[in-house]
Structure 1
């Protein structure tokens, strides 16, 4: 009988740590899977929130000579605006200036959008025909409320 008890105890001591270890591994794997799923959900939420911010509606700017163009983006915040001129969209990166004007320029296309508080202008700086394409452009808010253009310089001026 004593031999039987020793054999059972030896068996239990050999089996129980393995069972406990496999339960711990299973619990760790389940926790890791749960963590991965929640991390993925968080990344998707952040990506969706970022997309919502950047999914701005285009704003129609009216210019002298009945010219119109569409600007998508926030001139006070965004580093790249999308401008629709004619039948083409242009991605215009922000360029630093020393004058306080906001400038968005794409060297590949030559499109140069310059915004000062009273108006905006569009130039084409590429090729032989460098010229001003649109002048005295204003957004609907500028026209209706006689407000300055939504530039970074204007936002800084209001903050101080």
Structure 2
């Protein structure tokens, strides 16, 4: 699909005010949601091609409705919050994943490739391994925590 996901999380260092997000989200809501909405609304219009969300919490569940003004695809998936021993959710989750793939294909006129998906997992694993190596260097005193944070947070926005 040649899509490059970025994680819009831990944005506090990139957010200097919450003026725009506070027009849509109450100030007592979680800072993750408020910072995410501020980042997206205050960034350049062409910054994101789509937003994927899931039902992590009530506030995050409502973000697609808040960000509909951006006129970009809002790809959603509902992850069941159930006890696996009490309910079989495998078929439901399989349908949710299939619907997400179809919505992504439709939004970007692309075809899902299992091989490319596996490659993206491998790439993500390499990135996480490098982050863990850098964390060890911080623990050993070979890299400053400030430098580590700056590089890792900057890397979130690179394809």
TM-score of the aligned structures, taking structure 2 as reference length:
0.24
Return the index of the structure with the highest Cα Rg. Answer: 1
The structure with the largest strand share of the pair is 1
Kindly indicate whether structure 1 or structure 2 has the higher relative contact order, using CA contacts under 8 Å at least 6 residues apart.
2
Question: More helix by proportion, 1 or 2?
Answer: 2
- After TM superposition, the score normalised by the length of structure 1 is 0.24
